[in-house]
Structure 1
């Protein structure tokens, strides 16, 4: 029986604060052996990372995977550009959407799925400062309402 449990390695929590998430895609990644070992230890950071489409291929930039502490030689560059694996139709769809003004590709989380390392990227549109303040205000109001309900 296959293990369908997903273990999250790293999550980009700031992305949901800074962007309106329109669509999510799951992609594989081309990794080196020391990167896989580091990811198994949970040594990844998605802060400030983004994805770009170049020559019909998608690459993730600024994703930090810490060096493997057990590798004596041949350790990887922590901020190396990594290729993402998606279907050709999905790449074409994303290319047309990203060319629209204000859209970008943002990694949301890196996780294990059935023993393979996957990355979830989102087609996102940036929020303005007043949108962020509005979201914070709404969240605080909901928290206050829940607090008053639980006190009764």
Structure 2
């Protein structure tokens, strides 16, 4: 695991690349999937959580926030309550499941893009044709016309299909 040292002057030092980094650089490490810990040089304390909260705070204050005021208010209400541990476990499992689903989706999308372009276009055309045929059948049914599996349609039976006569 990568070690980041935080000095009293608030500067962050990445020991792996031997250079000072910014909070934005830390955010990028997170996005890239790098694991790290942040140690306060003066006290030797692990301050990773505080730095992560700082990153969240900066993200929330710039651009579009992830958390609404209502979500933040509800999160605060769980602190110190009897359900704090249960809520923490629930959030952890929910986020883990969400990340797994996102990864599976990205894998399927990458697999789809990896097919030959002719195969992809063929498959897309086939799916579009099926969707169009289904839409056409549904439209014909809703207007009183019937559509058999061969794609031919016929006028409805009964008075609805006859021309009005003068009496």
TM-score range, shorter-chain basis? under 0.3
Higher gyration radius (CA): 2
- Highest relative contact order (Cα 8 Å, sep 6+), 1 or 2? 1
TM-score, normalising length from structure 2?
A: 0.25
Larger % of strand: which? 1
